Chains A and B, each alone.
Chain A
Amino acid sequence: MDLSPTDAPDDATAAQALLICEHCDTVYHRRPLAKGEGAECARCGAVLERCRGMRANGLLALILTALVVFAQATLWPIVTLGLNGQYVDATLWDVIHTMWLDQSQVVAVLAALTLFVFPLCKIFALGWLLLYARSGRRAPGFRPLMVAMHHLGPWTMSEVFVLGALVSIVKAHLYFDVLPDPGIYAYAGLMLLITVFAGVDLSRLWDETREESP
């Protein structure tokens, strides 16, 4: 095996032609992928890269939808419980607030971060990056934002919260009248959008955009 690819005069483009599996360190020559096609590592079976079937414009439209749905899911009550004609409903903020007051500040902070702060950061960052990526440009702050997105990875848990709401409803249903509120539908919509975005390989933005010369 010789080192010719990196000895080529243009180091940056030569490096673009190679691909290293992040799960086992195997080096591959990049080959162009068709829409919706993915490459798999021959050694460990991990997905090497995936070509999304959607352009930046389509993704940007989805991100805007996600922002609206996220605002609704956060602001609207999720569910109402009734007992003897008395009714109590709760929004995400009520959930965080009650946990804070009930000696479970750790849980309140975890919920605030994973259900509100991190998802919101992710939506705004992605929207900002895609806004510029439409024309192949890198948004101001591209580098720190992409690094931050990478580290945010598994720390957004809206989809877990949806399942949690379902379990809570079934549990509460035994003793109370349960009335679903609009927030729960917004969360269901959000879950669908999250599933769509889970299939998008964001690291491709590094290759698909170019630094602008000032």
Chain B
Amino acid sequence: MSTLPRATELGLIGCHVCGQVCRAVDEGDGVLACPRCGSSLHRRKPAVYARCWALLIAAFLMYVPANVLPIMRTASLGDIDDNTILSGVVELWVKGSPGLAVIVFCASIMVPMLKFLALSTLLITCRRGSNWARRQRAQLYRLVELIGYWSMLDVFVVALLTALVRFGYFSLVEPLPGVVFFGLTVVLTMFASMCFDPRLIWDGKEDSDD
């Protein structure tokens, strides 16, 4: 089973959108369209490295203020307290919900970090045509795709608390700019992982021993 045929070798293209198998007829630089769903066909997604890096860097530029700036202000009887993402996790942990604190920590801190590290690793290794840990890198990409959107958790928590805690002078919650930056980070990293083409992992030199 070491010689599994790949679509490019057979002159075929699989449609990204509907999965239709099409023959890759070379018509100069004309854009091919899928006969079944009408989407444009590509052997690999276009400009993967440029788009992916651009989105990833933009996401990181948003990620810094998202973590440094407070995301939420709680005011109670004149006492004003600004919360960052990390202080929110610590508060949950200290005030008696360590389980939930771990979930929020994973969604808000681990998942974005994992996305930055995983996508950069994938982009660098694919650029080099490396055959290192291909199957694991393919799994890593699918993991990033699967859990990426859960980072939106903290954004929804801030939104819900803002809508609920409206007791005037007694207690009030307001969103602060950090939450906007965090929301943008999540959206940009989602676009970045969509722009990546996992088929690039398997391009380049074929490994002999696996």
**Chain B residue with Cβ nearest A178:** B164
Asked whether any CB of chain B lies closer than 8 Å to the CB of A171, the reply is: yes
Q: Determine if B153 and A6 form an interchain contact, defined as CB atoms under 8 angstroms apart.
A: no
Partner of B16, one of A22, A44, A108: A22
| Interface stretch of the complex, out of A23-31, A59-67, A119-127 | A23-31
Chain B residues in 8 Å Cβ range of A71: none
A83-B167, A147-B17 known; A160-B149 Cβ under 8 A: yes
A44-B134, A79-B164, A81-B165 known; A147-B39 Cβ under 8 A: yes
Chain A residues in 8 Å Cβ range of B22: 15
| Interface stretch of the complex, out of B50-58, B123-131, B172-180 | B172-180
Asked whether any CB of chain A lies closer than 8 Å to the CB of B59, the reply is: no
Q: Determine if B184 and A44 form an interchain contact, defined as CB atoms under 8 angstroms apart.
A: no
Q: Determine if B100 and A170 form an interchain contact, defined as CB atoms under 8 angstroms apart.
A: yes
0/1 interface trace, chain B 94-119, chain A, CB 8 Å (1 if under): 01010010011001000000000000
Chain B residues in 8 Å Cβ range of A104: 159, 175, 179-180
Interface size on B, residues (CB 8 A): 75
For chain A, the bracket of interface size reads: 35 or more
A147-B37, A170-B97 known; A25-B175 Cβ under 8 A: no
Chain A residues in 8 Å Cβ range of B145: 154
Asked whether any CB of chain B lies closer than 8 Å to the CB of A172, the reply is: yes
Q: Determine if A164 and B157 form an interchain contact, defined as CB atoms under 8 angstroms apart.
A: yes
Q: Determine if A154 and B100 form an interchain contact, defined as CB atoms under 8 angstroms apart.
A: no
Q: Determine if B201 and A24 form an interchain contact, defined as CB atoms under 8 angstroms apart.
A: yes
Asked whether any CB of chain B lies closer than 8 Å to the CB of A68, the reply is: no
Q: Determine if A160 and B187 form an interchain contact, defined as CB atoms under 8 angstroms apart.
A: no
A205 to B156, CA, bound (A): 34
A6-B12, A20-B12, A88-B165 known; A160-B152 Cβ under 8 A: yes
Subset of 11 A-B contacts with CB under 8 Å = A15-B20, A43-B135, A46-B138, A86-B167, A86-B170, A107-B180, A150-B18, A151-B17, A154-B145, A168-B157, A206-B19
- Beyond A18-B21, A88-B166, 17 additional pairs, beta carbon < 8 A: A6-B23, A20-B14, A23-B198, A24-B138, A25-B6, A27-B7, A27-B21, A88-B165, A89-B164, A96-B159, A98-B162, A103-B175, A110-B155, A154-B148, A164-B153, A168-B161, A168-B164
By a beta-carbon cutoff of 8 Å, the part of chain B in contact with chain A is 1, 4-14, 16-23, 36-39, 76, 88, 91-92, 95, 97, 100, 103-104, 107, 134-135, 138-139, 141-142, 145, 148-150, 152-167, 170-171, 174-175, 177, 179-180, 183-184, 187, 190, 198-199, 201-202
